Structure 1
Amino acid sequence: MEPFWQYSISHNSACKVIESQTLWGETICRVWLPGRDTVVRVPASRLQPLESAGANSSDHIAYVAAAARVADALTQDVLLAPIESTVIPLPHQIRALSRAIEHDRVRYLLADEVGLGKTIEAGLILRELKLRGLARRTLVVAPKGLATQWVSEMRFHFGETFQLVLPEDIKTLKRIAPESLLGKQDANNHGPETLPANAWQMFSQVVVPMDSVKPMDKRRGWNAAQVAEYNRNRFEDLISAGWDLVIVDEAHRLGGSTDQVARFKLGKGLSEAAPYFLLLSATPHQGKTDAFHRLVSLIDADEFPDIASVTRERVQPYVIRTEKRQAIDAEGNPLFKPRRTELASVSWEDRHEEQRQLYEAVTAYAREGYNQAMQEKRNYIGFLMILMQRLVVSSTAAIRSTLERRLDALAAPQEQMSLFPELSEEEWSDLDGQEQIEVLLHSRFKALKNERAEVKLLLDAAARCEQTGPDAKAEALLDWLYRLQSEEGDPDLKALVFTEFVPTQEMLRHFLTERGFSVVCLNGSMSMEERKRVQEDFAGDARILISTDAGGEGLNLQFCHVVINYDIPWNPMRLEQRIGRVDRIGQTHVVRAVNFVFEDSVEHRVREVLETKLAVIFEEFGIDKTGDVLDSAQAGKLFDEMYVEAILNPERVDESVENAVARLEEQAREARSTASILGAAEELNPGEAQRLLTHPLPHWVERMTVSYLSANGGSAEKKKRGWHLTWPDGDTITNVVFSGKEAEQRPGARHLTLEEPKVRGLAMRLPRLAPGQPIPIASIPGLSEEIQGVWSLWRIAIASMEWNRRRIMPLFLADNGMVYMPTARRVWDQLLAVDADIRGIWDMDLTRKAHDQLHAAAEDHGRPIYEELVREHRDRISREREKADYAFAARRRNIEKIGLPQVRNYRLNLLAQEEQNLRKQLDQKAQAYPELTPLLMMRVEGNHE
């Protein structure tokens, strides 16, 4: 039989019948479905002649016109997330999203400076991938202190629900996973299947703390089997759980000091766990090219096979970065207000004599204890001594409670104490002062000589000191609060107070509460719900929030503009991060930062000299370049050493600071020369955000969906609270809205977007117009009567082994034989707004002639579009070839360094074979095939109203 065209009711599509067979009274046809490019069997009873298919109704025309516009928007990189979201992105966030999705491989380093909203950018990219149907399962890996922030920000800004999985949850999940996963349906809804008991598959969106899932090589007291089970449950199962998108916050922590560090191994596993991969870091380089190379190699190992590959030209395409000084709002105004920072010297009055003596006694104890610990190579005792110095500067309560706990530890049997955990330098520097104290006081190590007696004496002195009245700094804090209240002209002024230690926090809470202030506290030990409640209280009636560094991680407190650093962290970058909690997008006031330090103390002298020197460095190198250096374990160690040197030898403070700053300056100079590889600043467009807010995509999606249902046996009824939709298969959805603005205005409404597979499928599986299919005659309201001709829509595509690109082209062939492209676009626009008035079916002889003429015109006018697609494809293949050549050359150089000729030659032969296979694959990918497909045709005879 000769193939012929029919309409499949089952598939709502024209199809070509290629074979039919009648058996026992039933005729079954094998038909080709062009939209799916598949051959299926269909009962003859489910086929109709094209003339009676209903494909010429005004609803069908409206559906195809709207669906084609949606499909075209998706191929033209229109940004869906800002259109469909309640978040109003800023120009730099729009640019970040635009750059992130301009290529198939969404693998980037988001490197905006602190406070520019990298979390929002990542959320926009997540939403964009979901709306495009490219991502369903997302994993976020973040430092412990930021994990809860990710959950709340994704829920608040994007309505995305993430499951927070803490270390203590993993065993519980492992135990219940088999029951939860048993009988779970697969992604294609093919029915129940038995899945492996991988706890990480229970949730489609997960946030997990970074250090709770990194692999370990060994652990004291564990055998190899225990280590293997730990790694399987936390690391191997995690990376094999089938993620589509992996996001890593504070990603510079994955760089590590070598490629054998646990965090880098975690990064390596995560980079291979998903096709889409985002690394977030305000300070990705940190002045160390080897660590930065390890970081970018996680994005693309072939692009960055060795340190020599880390060049500006190769790195820039993978990095998205905005500096604060560039950032603007939607009107083009600078995004950030200026900042005013003051050093507040706190003096010891006569009534504080006991406190001054306690400070000197603890300083002497710390100095002698540190020297003794270093002589005996007992670093952990040295850490404790340094912390004692920081504690006495913080408060009498902090040093007293720690001395009590140290005395208890010295009296406790050694077997009751834990071993000091195996922490890397990076992990130790990530802990705040309180967390470091907790680790040390719970660890097992012997006392220093006469330590117990000294601790007892100091403890007695601290107890006497507390009896004499409030700390000098607490009184100074009260004075400053009243002073700031007056200067800012606000009797209800809010202030964020930072301290390193929980006992100081508790002391200040009591002190301020007794004096009439409403106070709330945050520290690293609090749960997500507790943190959320505290932040809500501070946004409400509470005037003072007292936070530790760990408690302050992830805070966004733009409604407050005063930060008081009650204790000064030794690393200036931690100070910057604290102030960054209020110096964020949305801050409307000049930020005030007040830094407390005792007069006539070692810390005061260090701070005076350091601030002067740092100001010079910041002026020369800029805070953004210096920030890369400051926010590193290396810098933390440098400042620790500087302060320790100053405490041990107070007469040489200037020299200690001078040496440290000289090293910092050298690192900053290196960072300036190497950080240029992150790329130059781009001009931001303030109008893009406004344009996206008024984009008609939600209207197109609404028209597409409603028209499809009306044309294909479903129904769409507009009611007061929204649409009532019934799909052809009987599924019903009520209270449906199609725009983010409507969803916000109507609580409880169902916001239907392209994220819904059924809706997205309407745009992605456009019905094909069959040759000889009847052409309707229509008039279109709003068009001039002079417009007479045949209008059509065409899909132009290029298909290769792994790459498909398509464009939609409207075409208008006037009765005078001319093709008018602007008229074609005008007709298309009008069909998205009004219904065509179908007045009949055109003569079949004229229809066949029009098909031929339009095909020839589409081939002619579509050529530039096709050539652009071919050029994009060739550029992509060329880039892959270039990357492969570089990677193979780097690997070849490494193999050629092998001394044994037999091993060297064997490895070179294997490499040559691998290279040959890859070249064959690239040759196959390079083959691309053109497609030109008619989607819609109609005879337009103006508007006869």
Structure 2
Amino acid sequence: MNNTWQYSIAHQCVCQIIEAQNLWGESTCRVWLPERNTVVRVPLSMLQPLEDAGANSSGHIAYVAAAARVADALTQDVLLAPIESTVIPLPHQIRALTRAVEHDRVRYLLADEVGLGKTIEAGLILRELKLRGLARRILVIAPKGLATQWVSEMQFHFGETFQLVLPEDVKTLKRIAPDSLQNKPSAGNHDRATIPANAWQMFSQVVAPMDSVKPMDKRRGWSAAQVGEFNRERFDDLISAGWDLVIVDEAHRLGGSTDQVARFKLGKGLSEAAPYLLLLSATPHQGKTDAFHRLVSLLDADEFPDISSVTRDKVQPYVIRTEKRQAIDADGNPLFKPRRTELASVSWEARHDAQRRLYEAVTAYAREGYNQAMMEKRNYIGFLMILMQRLVVSSTAAIRTTLERRLEALVAPQEQMSLFPEFSEDEWADLDGQEQIEMLLQSRFKALKNERAEVKLLLDAAAGCEQIGPDAKAEALLDWLYRLQSEEGDPDLKALVFTEFVPTQEMLRQFLTERGFSVVCLNGSMGMEERKRVQEDFAGDARILISTDAGGEGLNLQFCHVVINYDIPWNPMRLEQRIGRVDRIGQTHVVRAVNFVFEDSVEYRVREVLETKLAIIFEEFGIDKTGDVLDSAQAGKLFDEMYVEAILNPDRVTESVEAAVARLEEQTREARTGASILGEAGNLDPGEAQRLMTHPLPYWVERMTVSYLTANGGKAEKKKHGWRLEWPDGETLRNVVFSGKEADQRPGSLHLTLEEPKVRGLAMRLPRLAPGQPIPIVSIPGLSEEIQGVWSLWRIAIASMEWNRRRIMPLFLADNGMVYVPTAKRIWDLMLSADAEVGAMWDMDLAMQAHEKMHEAAEEHGRPIYEELVREHRNRISREREKADYAFAARRRNIEKIGLPQVRNYRLNLLDQEEHDLKEQLDRKAQAYPELTPLLMIRVEGNRE
């Protein structure tokens, strides 16, 4: 009985008996389970002959044929996410996904330009990893203004539920967990009975704002213990929560100005927290090579040990980038429409004389206050003065509201005011004007000389202006709305209006509503549900959406093509980001952008000179390349300084602008040189997306699952709204569909994919064909009756210490002794669409001979496949050796700079030992072993019909 093959009922697979034993009336066997590569003991009663195991039924044959095709698709890097999704990816998104999953190490910088859908690309990669069973716990880190957008986009486009964790939620996660754990299973939430000690482990898919989880070194008024507790709850526990995939949006913010900056420390922690890492940034290289080096070192510290390692050849394998000018749709047409931008000068008529005087008075107040603040080294007062200037340009309501609050602060007891919070330069630049003014007005500032009286006078003047009538800009906005409505030939034209400040937003809402417009508003104080409701209203009946910069972050408004910048932010990149809310994938109109500015104002003179100068730079470098520099805290500071200089010295506007632009041009030149290391993306294939959308994988998964159940004691019934499936263990699923298209068409259905462990197991644990197993004689509908011979499926694999690769090979040995590869593939295709009719079992002697001949043929025809797998493995090891050699050489150069011989020699010895150990480990990993496993064998006698 030893060495014979049987079927283990307990394990539902073939096994080989190693030893049989009868002791005290109990018969047991030690058997080898090849599918699990383990030896177990089972009762003899749980074993049955192979011919009685049902392994030769039509259902079993269909299951193995379909499961092998699914397994082969997985080994051939077929993209699962687009096939299983309702999202139709564009060519550049397909290329991004292909690049991301072509290697085992999924750690990339997604650097597409603004508006190309990096969030969709990240979502596709996320889904791909989940469908392949490689990721379950996922963390998204994004700037505060984009966090809610990530939650909604993942839900809308991919059906993925993420838990948004805000700073105030961290301490209350355990309290809110029972309610939140009712989310649907795809969110990967834990059972409510098991609440972990680490609060970040309560949810398997989390979005958190970047600055709420970064570590801190100190905080004003806090003890070291308080700082330590803060870091443990927000940073240490987050990093140690066991993530499979970490995604960081606006990742260039992690580069920091030094390696001690909190955001870079956060980046280091995140890079070590998960095997898979995606960094998203449209502007990864902002002309600062050291910051870019820190960013790419998060992807692979060994590949980028120092700045000199940041070369084009080394960086390109880690960067996935598409430029707007390259982007095409599925038909090969340019993805983006042209854009029309114009400067709208707003004049002060006689009736606006009081507004003109208010503007001039606030400008003088801001100028004098700023000079005084700088003399007294009170920078925050300087910031406040500059914001006063921006407020008066925005609206009378905005300056009046702020003056009221400033006056309240000046007359209030000093102890009632809070300290100004600690902010880095990057964090301050991230805030929009409304958020900055809120921070400043809540802080404890002493008054400037005579400031209380001056603020009182300005406040009276502002109140008087509001009583006289509407602002000049508000009237201009109304004129422009009617003009655009006429020019575009659309009486229901929608417009997105941007302002920096909430009081201006509220004034415009009232002004336009009173004149018959349907208006909705967005700002940074709104929660996720409120933001969603506003966007839905704008997509519906609302004509005008008025948004602040913080409110507009993450918006996708392709159904609107008119943007009016009621206030012009000082950094031109903010304008670009605003217009990008409508100039996105799916926009079908020429985008109209109108920028308002007062005539005869400092801002107008600055814009006049600046736009001319910037046009020259854009012509030379391109707006997209210049955008790398413009979208940085460094550029924000440059433009702030330029405007301040113009306000302080209005007679020297041209000189101020030219000096700033010269610095910008220099930075852009440096950035272009640096950004060249990102490389060129190459041409895009417009047809790949459509090919993927029609891929038969969902049908293969359906046939695999249904055939398995019918062959193994389960049930599968096709109902009106989908399948009713009953697994052999009794679990029942209703309204099951297998394609994303069906799931979209049938709300409430259960979309079953390879993400489900049971379904995935059907493909990954293919049953093995045992030597001597009976071979059924079958006929296959659609196959010519002249085709007679033995058809089989083989798994060819290579196994090493850390790397396993496999391929599935069909083989057909005709009765004339010839092997026909095309016929083998044809038979496999037919078996996926029609049930084979099983007749008698083939003669055992002939079957044994067929086993031997097929094994010989499989060895011969499988050798090229095996050799390809070996080449892939050796190339992988070679890349690891090259990277290790480079990293050790860089570290050795740094150690050799140490002056003290004893320290230098000690560290060199440690490095030598580390290098020796790694090389030994790579030598062990290089050893690989071939496997050739039969999966299915049938005698084909054509179609008997």
* Interval containing the TM-score (normalised by the shorter chain): over 0.9
Is the Cα–Cα contact under 8 Å of residues 791 and 940 in structure 1 kept in the other structure?
yes
Pairs within 5 Å for 1:729-808: 729-808=729-808
Matched residue, 2:344: 344
Q: Which amino acid aligns with 1:130?
A: K
Please state how far the C-alpha of 1:25 moved relative to its aligned partner.
2.6
The yes-or-no answer on 1:20 pairing with 2:20 is yes
Alpha-carbon distance between aligned partners in 2 of 1:749 and 1:681, rounded to the nearest angstrom: 39
Q: Aligned AA for 1:538?
A: F
Alpha-carbon deviation of 1:177?
A: 6.4
Give the superposition deviation at 1:464: 1.1
* Aligned 8 A contact 1:362 1:392 in 2: yes
Q: Residue in 2 aligned with 1:612?
A: 612
Separation in 2 of the partners of 1:471 and 1:195? 57
Distance 1:402 1:179 in 2: 41
Name the structure 2 match of 1:650: 650
* Amino acid of the structure 2 residue aligned with 1:404: E
Distance in 1 of aligned mates of 2:16 and 2:193: 35
Q: Residue 408 of structure 1 aligns to a residue in which SS?
A: helix
Q: For the Cα contact (< 8 Å) 1:768–1:935, is it kept in 2?
A: yes
Distance 1:571 1:720 in 2: 58
Distance 1:538 1:195 in 2: 41
Aligned equivalent of 1:918: 918
User: Aligned partners of 2:295, 2:191: CA distance in 1, in Å?
Assistant: 41
Figure out how many residues of one structure are paired with residues of the other and give that number.
Answer: 941
**1:552 paired to 2:556:** no
Asked whether the 8 Å contact 1:30–1:41 carries over to 2, the reply is yes
Paired residue type of 1:466: E
Alpha-carbon distance change, 163 to 283 in structure 1, aligned in 2, over 3 angstroms: same
Displacement, 1:180? 9.9
Distance 1:431 1:838 in 2: 71
Per the TM alignment, residue 108 of structure 1 is displaced from its structure 2 partner at its CA by 0.5
1:23 alignment partner AA: L
Alignment-derived partner of residue 361 in structure 1:
361
Identity %: 88
2:686 aligns to what? 686
| Contact 1:178-1:197 at 8 Å conserved across structures | no
Alignment partners' CA distance in 2, 1:598 and 1:179: 53
Aligned residue identity for 2:266: L
Q: Contact 1:174–1:233 at 8 Å: present in 2 too?
A: no
1:432 is aligned to 432
Q: Given residue 706 of structure 2, which amino acid in structure 1 is its aligned partner?
A: V
Residues 188, 205 of structure 2: 8 Å contact kept:
no
Question: Which residue is 1:319 aligned to?
Answer: 319
Q: 2 CA distance for matches of 1:408 and 1:188?
A: 50
Distance 2:39 2:450 in 1: 88
Instruction: Tell me how far 1:748 sits from its aligned partner.
Output: 1.1
Q: Give the corresponding residue for 1:469.
A: 469
Q: Alpha-carbon deviation of 1:28?
A: 2.2
Distance across 2 between alignment mates of 1:780 and 1:887: 58
- Correspondence list, 1:633-712, <5 A: 633-712=633-712
Q: In structure 2, how many angstroms separate the alpha carbons of the residues matched to 1:196 and 1:482?
A: 59
Distance 1:176 1:695 in 2: 42
Structure 2 Cα separation of the partners of residues 481 and 193 of structure 1:
57
Are residues 609 and 794 of structure 1, via their aligned partners in 2, closer, same or farther at CA, if it must alter by over 3 Å?
same
Residue 529 (1) aligns with residue 541 (2): no
CA-CA distance at 1:20 after TM superposition: 2.7
Counterpart of 1:343 in 2: which secondary structure? Answer: strand
Partners of 1:613 and 1:176 lie apart in 2 by: 54
Structure 1 contact 67–704 (Cα < 8 Å) conserved: yes
More displaced 10-residue stretch of structure 1: 286-295 or 165-174: 165-174
Assess if the C-alpha contact under 8 Å between 2:189 and 2:203 holds in 1: no
Contact 2:563-2:592 within 8 A present in 1 as well: yes
Structure 1 match to 2:257 = 257
Letter in 2 for 1:245: L
* SS of equivalent residue, structure 2 residue 298: helix
| Residues 197-239 of structure 1 deviation map (CA, whole Å, 9 limit, x = unaligned) | 1111111111111111111000111101110110000111111
Structure 2 distance, partners of 1:699, 1:175, is 44
Could you tell me whether the CA contact under 8 Å between 1:777 and 1:838 is conserved in 2? Answer: yes
Deviations 1:633-662 (A, max 9, x none): 000000000000111011110100000100
CA distance in 2 between partners of 1:142 and 1:168 (Å): 16
1:247 and 2:247 aligned: yes
Where 1:391 maps in the other structure, the secondary structure is helix
1:366-398 C-alpha deviation (Å, 9 max, x unpaired): 111111111111110110010000000000110
Q: Give the distance between the partners of 1:565 and 1:886, measured in 2 at CA.
A: 51
Structure 1 residue aligned with 2:563:
563
Give the drift of 1:681: 2.5
Alignment partner, residue 580 of structure 1: 580
User: 2-side partners of 1:224 and 1:262: how far apart?
Assistant: 16
Alpha-carbon distance in structure 2 between the residues aligned to 1:193 and 1:15 = 39
> Could you list the runs of 5+ residues in structure 1 that have no partner in the other structure?
none
- Corresponding residue of 1:941: 941
Counterpart in 2 of 1:403?
403
Once the two structures are overlaid, the 10-residue window that deviates more, 192-201 or 411-420, is: 192-201
Residue by residue, what CA displacement relative to the aligned partner does 1:28-70 show, whole Å, maximum 9, x if unpaired? 2221111111112222111111121111111111000000000
Q: What is the DSSP-based 3-state SS (H/G/I as helix, E as strand, rest coil) of the residue aligned with 1:299?
A: coil
Contact 2:195 2:202 (8 Å CA) reproduced: no
Distance 1:298 1:62 in 2: 47
Structure 2 CA distance for partners of 1:189 and 1:787, relative to 1, 3 Å: farther
Q: Is the 8 A contact 1:717 1:723 kept in 2?
A: yes
Secondary structure in 2 matching 1:490: coil
Write out aligned runs for 1:813-892 (5 A): 813-892=813-892
Shift of 1:673: 1.1
Contact residue 110 and residue 280 of structure 2 kept, 8 A: yes
Structure-2 separation of matches of 1:147 and 1:234? 16
Q: Using a 3 Å threshold, how does the CA distance of structure 1 residues 128 and 449 change in structure 2: closer, same or farther?
A: same
| Aligned-partner residue type, residue 657 of structure 1 | V
Q: Partner letter of residue 673 of structure 2?
A: S
Q: Which residue of structure 2 aligns with residue 101 of structure 1?
A: 101
Q: Any conservation in 1 of the 2:177–2:192 contact (CA below 8 Å)?
A: no
Structure 1 residues 145-156: aligned runs within 5 Å: 145-156=145-156
Summarize the Cα distance change of 1:174–1:422 in structure 2 as closer, same or farther, 3 Å threshold: farther
Residue 833 of structure 2 aligns with an amino acid whose one-letter code is: A
1:816-869 Cα deviation digits (max 9, x unpaired):
111000000000000001111111111111111111111111100111100000
Amino acid at match of 1:940: V
* Range moving further from structure 2, 416-425 or 863-872: 416-425
1:21: Cα distance to partner?
Answer: 2.7
Q: Which residue in the other structure is 1:714 paired with?
A: 714
Task: Quote how far apart the aligned CAs of 1:24 are.
Answer: 3.7
Conservation of the 8 A alpha-carbon contact between 2:271 and 2:299:
yes
Partner amino acid, structure 2, of 1:567: D
Aligned partner of residue 595 in structure 2, secondary structure: strand
SS where residue 325 of structure 1 aligns? helix
1:235 partner amino acid: F
**2:178, 2:192 within 8 Å by CA — same for their partners in 1?**
no
Q: 1:936 to 1:260 in 2, by over 3 A?
A: same
- Cα distance between partner residues in 1 of 2:455 and 2:153: 45
Give the equivalent residue in structure 2 for 1:392: 392
How many angstroms does 1:461 deviate by? 1.0
* Cα displacement (A) at 1:26: 2.4
Counterpart-to-counterpart distance in 2, 1:292 and 1:550: 26
Partners of 1:188 and 1:356 lie apart in 2 by 59
Q: Distance in 2 between matches of 1:259 and 1:179?
A: 40
Return the alpha-carbon distance in structure 2 between the equivalents of residues 21 and 303 of structure 1: 57
Offset of residue 12 of structure 1: 1.8
CA contact (8 A) 1:178 1:196 kept: no
More divergent stretch after superposition (721-730 vs 925-934): 721-730
**CA displacement at 1:717 relative to structure 2:** 1.0
Q: CA deviation at 1:919?
A: 0.8
The answer to whether the aligner puts 1:223 opposite 2:220 as a matched pair is: no
SS at match of 1:272: helix
| Match in the other structure for 1:206 | 206
- 8 Å CA contact 1:778–1:938 kept in 2: the answer is yes
Q: What does the per-residue CA deviation read over 1:764-813, in whole Å, with 9 as the maximum and x for residues that have no partner?
A: 00000001111111111100111011000000000000000000000000
The answer for unaligned runs of 5 or more in structure 2 is: none
- Mapped partners of 1:245, 1:41: distance in 2: 39
1:335 to 2:328 alignment: no
Task: Give me the whole-angstrom Cα distance separating, in 1, the residues matched to 2:14 and 2:313.
Answer: 49
